[in-house]
Structures are given as structure tokens and as C-alpha cells.
Amino acid sequence: MLVSDINPAVLEWARTTAGLSYEDAAQRIGLSDTQKATAAEKLEAIERGERAPTPAQLNKMAAAYYRPLLSLYMSEPPRRADRGEDFRTTAELVAPDEAARLDALVRDVRARHAILQDMMADDEDAEARIFVGSLEITVPIPAAANRIRNALGLVDDNGIRKRASKPGDLFADLRRRVEALGVFVILLGDLGNYRTAIPPSVFRGFAVADRLAPLIVINDQDAKAAWSFTLIHELVHVFVGSTGVSGAPTTVPPNTPTARVERFCNDVAGEVLLPTDALTHIQPVHTANEVLTLAGALAEVWKVSTTMAAYRLWRTGKADTNAYREAHHILTEQWRLNRQRDKEKAKDQDTGPNFYVVRRHRLGDALINFVGRNLRADAVTHTTAAKVFGVRPGSVEGLLAGVPGLGGARPARGR
């Protein structure tokens, strides 16, 4: 394709949906001020069609706008990325660049899911997941929670926690159970590097309620202790049949259909992980410090996050609304500071965890095994597998090398 094929309107669309001003975009692209025009003015001229971008500038635009290079050659700007329903109910404004990263992440997930759908459709052993869309939000919370528990084989609330010494153990167990249902569970919270990380204040999870290939995305930028709640919350979305993006629980009254679905999923997930029966004999608390102390003790026993335990105290009437809100604010600030400290520590470390170990953990056993089996059966190529895994084709064998039954180098095929 030639630079002359570029529609200036597409360049404007790509910049604005990335949440960038002319000044910010021009800086990222590498335009510079001259006596005749500022960098921003040069970019404006490009978007008016008065100035042609160079191939190098187009490559920089694609990177700065979180878009594939080919998307800049589209004849017309496309519709906004389909997130499904937006179940987030937050009073906080999301920064334009963070909203753009979320759209890019959703596009990436949708593209991977489309490939999974095709693979499932061609798999003679694939069966429709009849539980998808089988749950109405009019079902009482205890009954809905029992539906989820029974599906996951959680017959003993205490038993699953006896095997968990920390929240990560509980999440690993729950993830195996969810994947055994036929739901793919992946951890994804950036666009490939730490500079594009999307904070949990923007999104906590994303569910694709598809009967062939149901998929759950968990924002791994969130605290690990919070992953179990997000996992079950998104699983409830799958059972309800509602595809979309979810945020953090809120005290905002659910006055819209999407807000009522979100509150239902929060309450069912909370009932699964920290049952009301466990809170029956607790005396109500009225200050933020009391909420924090009690929630911390509950979190230690039930292997959930302190934030989730505080939410359950509020939803079951054990904590005043104002006390809960203040406690939630304190916990959010603590998380932010801890996250910042963790980043600083990571900078000081010479080496990080093995790439393939981290990537396998993020992708999950279900996804790796399903795609890996199809690759070994020559049903898909290394290029296709790489698209689903979110890696380069040359990294596919490295991922599979640590998987029983799928290791052993195979020559990569490009098609």
C-alpha cells in the first residue's frame, strides 16, 4: 500500500480515539517545531490532507495510537470497538488515553476470540456450553450462588480454603474449576508492556458469554487477592449471558438495566466467596477503622481481598455506607502506594521471571492445551496459534515446551 492511499479522516479518528491532543500526538510521533510550523500544526496539516505522512511517521502513529499499521489504510473510520455492555458504574472519569487502551485491549480479545470460535466450530468433539445464558437476574442471590457453587463442585466452603494458604492458591483452584466447565480464563491488563498498563479503576474484568467459546479476562494489574472475586463475578456474567466490561463494586444505586446486572453479579460472587451465613453473628461496625479491621480478619480466613470483604460487610448491613466508602478509599490508596513500591522494586532487579512461565500463567491451561492440541493436529498454524496466545510465531514452541504432551519442537509454519 502507498502513503497516498491514506484517508486523513482515518488518521484523525485514530488520534482522537487514542485520547491524544495534537500536541501530545505530535510529540509521540516525533514531529518537531520549525520556523514555518509547530509540530502540532504539522500534524493538523496531515489530518486535513494538506501534508502527506512519511512511512516512518505512519509506523510511529500506529504505535502511538495503539492501532495495527494496516488500520491506518482503511478507507473510512470504523465504528467504535464493541465492548458489549459497559457494566461499569463509577463516578470517576476515565482518562482518554486509558479509555483508548481499554478499547485496544477489547479489540485484541475480540480478535483472539473470533479465532477460538472458528477452532471450536471445526472441532468435532466441541459441545455448546448450555449454562451460558441460563441464569436470570431475578433468581434470589442464595439460589444463584448455589447454582455457581454446584457447577464448580464447591460442596464445602471450608474445604477449598483449607488447601489455600494464600489468596493466590484459592484463585488457582477456582480457575481450574472454571476452566473445567469449558470457559477460557486469561489474565490481561496491558497491551504488551508495562507502559500500556490499564489500572483496575478503568476495568476489572471482561466476559464474552459465547456458547461455543466462553471467555473471561481478568485485569492482572489488580491485586492478586482480588482476582478470585473478579473471576466468579465474570463467571456469573457468563451464566447470565451478558458480554461486556466490568468495574469495581460501587455504592451507586442500580437504576439502569446494566447496573442491576452488575449488582447481581457482585452479590452472587460475594455470596459464593464469603457467604452471608459466615457474617450472621458479626456485630455491625460504624467507623472506617472498624470496617478495615474486621474486613482484614475476614480476608485472612476466607482468602479474599480486604476490599471484597469490606464490600460484603456493607452489602449484608454489617457496615455503614459512609464507613464503607471511607474504608474503600483508604484501601484504594494503599493499593496504589503498594503498586508504586512494587514497580520501584522491579526496576532495581536485574532479572525478572521467565517469559514463558509468566505467559503460560496468563493464558491459562485451558487455552494453551486447546490451541496446542489443534496445532499438533495440524488444524491451525503457528501463526494462528501465536495470534491467540498474543506472542510472535517464534515463541509458540517455547510456550508449549513446558506443557505435558505438547512439548517437543516442531517447525513453525507461516500459514
For 117-128, the pLDDT digits (tens) are 999 988 888 888
Higher-confidence residue: 82 or 176? 176
**Which percentage of the chain shows pLDDT scores above 70?**
92
Gyration radius of the chain over CA positions: 23
Q: Among 224, 228, 222, which Cα is nearest to 204's? A: 222
Tell me: pLDDT of 91 over 50: no
Amino acid symbol at 27: Q
Domain 3-73: CATH superfamily, name plus number: lambda repressor-like DNA-binding domains (1.10.260.40)
Alpha helix (H) residue ranges in 189-287: 227-240, 257-273
Q: Which of 178-182, 325-329, 350-354, 375-379 has the lowest mean pLDDT?
A: 350-354
Tell me: pLDDT of 276 over 60: yes
**Which percentage of the chain shows pLDDT scores above 90?**
59
Region 295-301: what's the mean pLDDT?
94
CB 235 within 8 A of CB 205: no
Average pLDDT, the chain: 88
Tens-digit pLDDT profile for residues 343-373: 777 666 656 678 899 999 999 999 999 999 9
Positive or negative CA dihedral for 133, 136, 137, 143? negative
Q: Among 40, 56, 107, 49, which Cα is nearest to 80's? A: 107
**Per-residue b or e along 217-233, where b marks 16 or more CB atoms closer than 10 Å to that residue's CB:** bbbbbbbebbbbbbbbb
Higher-confidence residue: 1 or 397? 397
Tell me: pLDDT of 3 over 70: no
Higher-confidence residue: 207 or 81? 207
d(CA 273, CA 312): 10
Q: What is the pLDDT of residue 235?
A: 98
d(CA 331, CA 293): 12
Tens-digit pLDDT profile for residues 206-237: 999 999 999 999 999 999 999 999 999 999 99
d(CA 356, CA 151): 31
Q: What is the pLDDT of residue 414?
A: 46
Region 159-166: what's the mean pLDDT?
74
Q: Among 324, 326, 328, which Cα is nearest to 313's? A: 324
Region 130-146: what's the mean pLDDT?
96
CB 266 within 8 A of CB 311: yes
Higher-confidence residue: 315 or 254? 315
